[in-house]
Structure 1
Amino acid sequence: MSDQMPTDIPFQHSSTGTLGVEMEWMTVDQGSGAQIPAAPFVFEVTGSSARIKPELFTSTVEINTDIHHTTAAAIDQLQALYNQVSDMLAGRQAALLSTGTHPFSHWRDQQISDDPRYGRLLDRLQWMARRFNIFGIHVHVGMPDGDSCIHAMNHLLPVLPVFLAISANSPFWHGEDTGLSASRIKIFEGLSQGGMPFYFENWRDFEHCAGRLQATGSIDSVRDIWWEMRPHPDFGTLEVRIGDMPACRDDAAAYIAYVRAEAMAALHADAIPRIHPSLIRENRWRACRFGMRATIIDPFTEELIPVLDWLEKRLERLDQCGIDRSELALVAGRMDCWRSHGGGDAIQRHLFSRQSSLPDLVRAIRLQDGWNS
């Protein structure tokens, strides 16, 4: 089998630090708040578009940016695309919702998109693919070559749990409060190639891993590797996929800016000792359970520290590394709000405590997300 194993995976060059963002929005009924299969109508209007695309379920619209050089520019385009889709849906009494999971709609009720690739995935993954009714934000950061991408990915592994903590926005699942801040990740990790990525020695090491998976029929292509962070050789990027769909526009901007800042710092960082995966997994669990209220194990000192305190110190370190201060300001500007009110998970629970039903909760989430203003 090794003689047939594909090993050469070209990594397309990208300008270092360029930025692209994908956001997975669900379509909901304006009245009931339930997920509805409104996405095909959007695609009928837009036609084939690289910016507005289908996903696994017909109740999902994926919105993608062009290549940008700043978070502010990416957010501006995301807002314009959101407005475009939202206006289309309004005539159908439908709307877009930004959460990592729907508070009460069930995966069994979702229709599969009419795409041969999704049919193959469903045939291979069965129940796991059917349950994949979850929604996230993916941030692509341009890398000059494959070895640089692997270098940056290795450095970012210990920081992955912090990305999850500040985006955690999926406390409800099928009408129940899960007790978790980010239940989405527990569905995500059930995929055969889901969960945390691995340390790799270099690009050749990754090529061997991906080639083995293809040669053994485990994946059709690198696109079927759904790790929470992965190289994207076709785009020439490092793609961070761990984040829930953020609770609001300002949280989205802070998340995108922070991921890009860490990726740029990692790209230029000197070699450091690898953090044991068991510590990263424990912090990942703490972020999943408690979100921004988590106390994590500092991966570099192994001391316990509240995640927002760690992030505050980290921003100072990133500033010393020469990261653009306008980008860091987008993160720092959310700290007081996060300390006072928590993240998306806490906001959902607070809103639910003041509503009479889960449909009312969905309407309340839409009203406070900042994309409608």
Structure 2
Amino acid sequence: MSESMRTIAFQDSSPGTLGVEMEWMTVDINSGEQVPAAPAVFAAVGESARIKPELFTSTVEINTDIHRSTSAAVDELQALYDQVSQILGGQHAALLSAGTHPTSHWRDQQVTDDQRYARLLERLQWMVRRFNIFGIHVHIGMPDGDTCIRAMNHLLPIMPVFLAISANSPFWQGEDTGLSASRIKVFEGLSQGGMPFYFENWRDFEHCAGRLQATDSIDSVRDIWWEMRPHPDFGTLEVRIGDMPGSRADTQAYIAYVRAEAMAAMHTEAVPRVHPSLIRENRWRACRYGMHGTMIDPFTERLMPVLDWLEMRLGALAAGGIEQSELELVAGRIGHWRKHAGGAAMQRQLHATHAAFPAMIAAMREQDGWS
């Protein structure tokens, strides 16, 4: 068997189970700048599947166990946040949630001492050094590889809405980018970054990943950094497009919406494929305008405000049998979003009120609902 025809085992999971990864910045309590405080956290907690290092020593990744509801996952995230925050308090540091830091420069970040990160730096150079970006990854259990691919195909045209409601990276190194989500513009520079592709089935994905490995383009499936991807080791579909949301309430609504769409996608028969040009346009609109933008309905091609489309979509998901308790977590946040918008707008509002970035960052932390 050629390398490109190799089999990749998909570890089936209970459908709809949930796991969440969040990439938190460690910042100085006074200046708000990123500081390399993560090693102190790992020294305190030891080897942990829940609290892990990332590329830079100013990042702590917090991962949940497997859950069957959004509320349970968020409760665990809160407990892990509290644990890490207590340790950081002794370092005069704290956690900050955003897709990018408002001012800190990527050149100033220390790379974690890890062989995998060293290989990435050697291969990707300047591209990976700029990865001072922070996202939320939602894993949804899938029963088998073919179901995972069918769900991914179905979610491709919906992905821009995930980005719009999480958009929280308007600033880059002290400059207002004019975007709501600048983080994905950094990530898409990788050869395996950006949007995923339509696949026929799991075998088609195996061929794709096998070709990339056979040509030394990636070391493993872990090096495929699409904004949504199968995770065969976990038996999940991993949605990676979201910025770190601006608050606990936004995080909860985001997770619930991703899970609801993924569960619906598992049980949806094949639907007509939406042309990638339309998906890319909606992705750009989400990047630029966030949740207060206008999108192209991928199924009717009518222009609609994002939040109007989301409300309509929640009705369709409810009619399709998705758990009402999960949908209420999303629906209950839409009124706030209509009035105040999301993380990106909140950052700009705080910057207008607190012109000095340290005061702005302190206000972001005070309003995030985690502390």
Instruction: Note the C-alpha offset of 1:249.
Output: 0.3
The within-5 A match list for 1:203-214 is 203-214=202-213
Q: Residue 249 of structure 2 contacts residue 369 of structure 2 at CA under 8 Å; is this kept in 1?
A: yes
Q: Which amino acid is 2:155 matched to?
A: L
Number of the residue aligned with 1:223: 222
C-alpha distance in 2, partners of 1:291/1:135?
A: 17
Q: Residue 53 of structure 2 contacts residue 61 of structure 2 at CA under 8 Å; is this kept in 1?
A: yes
SS state at 1:333 partner: helix
1:125-159 deviation digits (Å, cap 9, x = unpaired): 00000000000000000000000000000000000
* Number of residue equivalences: 371
Q: Residue 3 of structure 2 contacts residue 211 of structure 2 at CA under 8 Å; is this kept in 1?
A: no
The within-5 A match list for 1:208-357 is 208-357=207-356
Number of the residue aligned with 1:105: 104
Instruction: Note the C-alpha offset of 1:309.
Output: 0.2
Instruction: Note the C-alpha offset of 1:356.
Output: 2.9
Q: Residue 181 of structure 2 contacts residue 290 of structure 2 at CA under 8 Å; is this kept in 1?
A: yes
C-alpha distance in 1, partners of 2:147/2:193?
A: 23
The within-5 A match list for 1:12-23 is 12-23=11-22
TM-score normalised over the length of structure 1: 0.99
Number of the residue aligned with 1:27: 26
Structure 2 residue runs of 5 or longer lacking an equivalent are: none
Number of the residue aligned with 2:77: 78
Q: Which amino acid is 1:181 matched to?
A: S
SS state at 1:243 partner: coil
C-alpha distance in 2, partners of 1:3/1:298?
A: 42
Is residue 202 of structure 1 aligned with residue 201 of structure 2? yes
Number of the residue aligned with 1:44: 43
Q: Which amino acid is 1:367 matched to?
A: E
Q: Residue 141 of structure 2 contacts residue 236 of structure 2 at CA under 8 Å; is this kept in 1?
A: yes
1:49-75 deviation digits (Å, cap 9, x = unpaired): 000000000000000000000000000
1:214-253 deviation digits (Å, cap 9, x = unpaired): 0100000000000000000000000000000000000000
C-alpha distance in 2, partners of 1:51/1:38?
A: 17
Distance change in 2, residues 1:239/1:4 (3 Å)? closer
C-alpha distance in 2, partners of 1:188/1:267?
A: 27
C-alpha distance in 2, partners of 1:155/1:333?
A: 25
C-alpha distance in 2, partners of 1:192/1:366?
A: 34
Number of the residue aligned with 2:183: 184
C-alpha distance in 2, partners of 1:245/1:271?
A: 31
Q: Residue 100 of structure 2 contacts residue 133 of structure 2 at CA under 8 Å; is this kept in 1?
A: yes
C-alpha distance in 2, partners of 1:299/1:45?
A: 48
Q: Residue 151 of structure 1 contacts residue 202 of structure 1 at CA under 8 Å; is this kept in 2?
A: yes
1:349-369 deviation digits (Å, cap 9, x = unpaired): 001100031111110100000
Q: Residue 3 of structure 2 contacts residue 210 of structure 2 at CA under 8 Å; is this kept in 1?
A: no
Instruction: Note the C-alpha offset of 1:277.
Output: 0.2
Number of the residue aligned with 2:172: 173
Number of the residue aligned with 1:143: 142
1:32-56 deviation digits (Å, cap 9, x = unpaired): 0000000001000111100000000
C-alpha distance in 2, partners of 1:343/1:194?
A: 25
Number of the residue aligned with 1:57: 56
After TM superposition, the runs of 4+ consecutive aligned structure 1 residues lying more than 4 A away are: none
Q: Which amino acid is 2:343 matched to?
A: G
C-alpha distance in 1, partners of 2:2/2:65?
A: 39
C-alpha distance in 2, partners of 1:197/1:25?
A: 25
SS state at 1:144 partner: coil
Instruction: Note the C-alpha offset of 1:91.
Output: 1.1
RMSD over aligned CA atoms reads: 0.7
C-alpha distance in 2, partners of 1:324/1:356?
A: 43
SS state at 2:241 partner: strand
Q: Residue 6 of structure 1 contacts residue 214 of structure 1 at CA under 8 Å; is this kept in 2?
A: no
Instruction: Note the C-alpha offset of 1:27.
Output: 0.1
Q: Residue 52 of structure 1 contacts residue 63 of structure 1 at CA under 8 Å; is this kept in 2?
A: yes
1:306-344 deviation digits (Å, cap 9, x = unpaired): 000000000000000100000000000000000000110
C-alpha distance in 1, partners of 2:148/2:2?
A: 27
Number of the residue aligned with 1:122: 121
C-alpha distance in 2, partners of 1:263/1:356?
A: 41
C-alpha distance in 2, partners of 1:303/1:196?
A: 22
SS state at 1:13 partner: coil
Instruction: Note the C-alpha offset of 1:6.
Output: 5.1
Number of the residue aligned with 2:95: 96
C-alpha distance in 2, partners of 1:369/1:191?
A: 31
Q: Percent identity?
A: 75
Distance change in 2, residues 1:6/1:57 (3 Å)? farther
Q: Residue 4 of structure 2 contacts residue 208 of structure 2 at CA under 8 Å; is this kept in 1?
A: no
Is residue 156 of structure 1 aligned with residue 155 of structure 2? yes
